Amino acid sequence: MTQNRTDVYTRITAEIIAAIEAGAGEFKMPWHHAGTSIARPANISSGKGYRGVNVLALWVAAEIAHYDSGIWGTYRQWQALEAQVRKDERGTTVVLWKQASPAGDDDRGGDDDSPARRIFARAFTVFNVAQVDGYQPEPVALLPESERVAHAEAFIGNLGITTVFGSPNAFYRPATDTVHMPDFRHFHEAAGFYGSWIHENGHASGAKHRLDRDLSGRFGSASYALEEISVEILSGMILADLAIAHHPRPDHAAYVASWLRVLKDDPRAIFTAASKAQQAADWMHARQPQAAEKAA
């Protein structure tokens, strides 16, 4: 690897860390319908993602029922959209936590002697979009084919990893050694498409017959989090190499930050992840024709 590329990778990591420290914000899917990932469920009415234990409850419910979408709403919320929950469909319970002020709190002006605020939970039953009839999502502008980046397509194609398009989500399936992606037209912009594609190929680089990383971690585990952070940093590195995004995109930092919470007891986690990301980037560059020519 050239010193120049090493410097770029160091800068990418540093900028992601700086963005996290400044408050990276909330991660949003780079393709249309941010709630379509079952791992990141969202409310149909507010558009906001569910949080805390609700994420786990809805993720498990979607896995069991084989729902492809992470869009959920209450019976009334679906009715307001002129959609109807089908008869005999069973909902999933989520909990909304609220903070209640003690009686007369408004008159005290919030001084330090006020009684502690009380937290209470309210349960709601929500239904997945797969459980309703009559819902028509808002039409979205499709990304035109003219936005494709030829040298990025060639770079990823040279990795030799099979990609299957048409999936509602982006993921790598180790059992078949295949990357699965939504179609290009469903992404908000080309950079999001190539960043996601590189991310999933990054997972594939860890297969036993390639870099042999541990890909056995379950969703939410520390090993799963470290792998996600590694390939997201990798995505930022390769996008810079391909001159698609010279600096980390805000969604890179937000995604890395979301997984760093799982590794909060390991202050060096992001540096370990960056090292693994650089190893994967080196592997990707070694698959390119110009690398083979230099080695000959």
Lowest mean pLDDT among 65-69, 103-107, 174-178, 197-201: 103-107
In sequence order, what are the residues at sequence separation of 6 or more whose Cβ sits closer than 8 angstroms to the Cβ of residue 38? 58, 59, 62, 63, 67, 68, 69, 70, 169
The two beta strands, 118-128 and 92-100, are: antiparallel
Encode pLDDT of 25-57 as tens digits.
766 666 665 444 555 688 998 888 888 788 888
| Band (65; pLDDT cuts 50, 70, 90) | confident
The pLDDT value given to residue 26: 67
The two beta strands, 71-74 and 162-165, are: unpaired
Average pLDDT, the chain: 83
For residue 282, the one-letter residue type is D
* 280: nearest Cα among 247, 215, 248, 234: 234
Encode pLDDT of 155-166 as tens digits.
999 999 999 998
CA end-to-end span of the chain: 17
| Band (254; pLDDT cuts 50, 70, 90) | confident
Burial class (CB within 10 angstroms; exposed 0-12, middle 13-18, buried 19+) of 287: middle
Which of 219-255 are b and which e, b meaning 16 or more Cβ less than 10 Å from the residue's Cβ?
eeeeebbbbbbbbbbbbbbbbbbbebbeebbebbbbb
Encode pLDDT of 215-240 as tens digits.
988 877 889 889 999 999 999 999 99
Extract the tokens encoding 57.
């409850």
The pLDDT value given to residue 293: 63
CA distance 190 to 153: 11
* pTM listed for this prediction: 0.66
Residue with tokens 């709403």: 73
Encode pLDDT of 80-101 as tens digits.
999 999 999 999 999 887 666 5
* 96: nearest Cα among 45, 60, 62: 45
| Band (289; pLDDT cuts 50, 70, 90) | very high
Res 247 pLDDT > 60: yes
SS3 content of the chain, % helix, strand, coil (to 5): 45, 15, 40
Three-state SS at 75: helix
| Band (284; pLDDT cuts 50, 70, 90) | very high
User: What are residue 181's DSSP bridge partners?
Assistant: 165
